Amino acid sequence: MDSLRLLGSRLAAQVEALGDTGVLTDEQESAALDALEEAGIRPEIRSVSSSVSSSTAAGTFAPVAVPVGSAPVVAREPLDPPALRGVLAGPRQLGDLGGRPVTLISAELWSDRFLADLYTHPGPEHRGRRARASREHLEWMKRLRRGEATERPGRAVAGSPLADLTWELRDEQGTAYRRTGGSAESGDHLDRQRMQWTPAPPAQSGRVTLVATDTAGAVVLDAEIPIPRPAT
């Protein structure tokens, strides 16, 4: 246990340093620290940015404060595992981005979280940016092979319509939702985001609102999603 706590302490310090220097976003820093706590090797509650919750994303382990110089503390047993309460199946059109529909694939209500899975068509402008970025990267590699002095271009892969937005979950009760995970799939003809927030919506909530803002802070999508009813 001592060696594991030492490893956890070093990993947590490295994660916080990457967050402080901007290498990791707040969400990435939070997810990394939660993973250490979930593994049972995060040594203590550390002083981190306000965006990092003291509970794990999955809610599986309760944090334990360990005073400096105290005796080893055995991690608590896991709490009840997350349970799926209900699923709202799509497709449901939530709105549009640049004239192209944004479609809800499904929404999931869990005992400790809420998930929304949606997609849109990237459109010709996005395909054009991806193609230009790829050509610039290939031309740069050719110049390097010829021994020519050249400046490296930007990212070889452009962003995507959904990934370039900031997403928030809201409800009428004013619940403070925190985005804690997800996955993405992006190509020339499909842009998909599966996003997860904690905690689960309150029992009295009948719907949540999904809000997306662009880099200028303008709201580009504001859509209500009915909360899936728990299976009986």
Range 11-30 average pLDDT:
70
Rounded Cα–Cα distance for residues 190 and 183 (Å):
14
Express as a percent the part of the chain with pLDDT over 90: 32
Read off the pLDDT of residues 147-164 as tens digits, 9 standing for 90 and up: 877 777 665 445 678 888
Count of beta carbons in the 10 Å neighbourhood of residue 56: 24
- Between residues 141 and 2, the one the model is more confident about: 141
Q: Which of 153, 158, 128, 160 is nearest to 138 (CA)?
A: 153
Rounded Cα–Cα distance for residues 57 and 32 (Å):
10
Range 82-94 average pLDDT:
92
Phi-psi category of 25—alpha, beta or left, where left has phi over 0 and alpha has psi -120 to 50? beta
| pLDDT of amino acid 140 | 72
DSSP β-ladder status, 166-170 and 219-226:
unpaired
pTM of this prediction exceeds 0.75:
no
Report the chain's mean pLDDT, rounded to a whole number: 75
Question: ∠ at Cα 73 (63, 48), nearest 5°?
Answer: 35
| pLDDT of amino acid 87 | 94
Range 204-224 average pLDDT:
92
Query: Is residue 18 predicted with pLDDT exceeding 90?
Result: no
The confidence band for 128, taking pLDDT boundaries of 50, 70 and 90, is low
- Between residues 81 and 123, the one the model is more confident about: 81
Rounded Cα–Cα distance for residues 48 and 33 (Å):
10
Query: Is residue 129 predicted with pLDDT exceeding 90?
Result: no
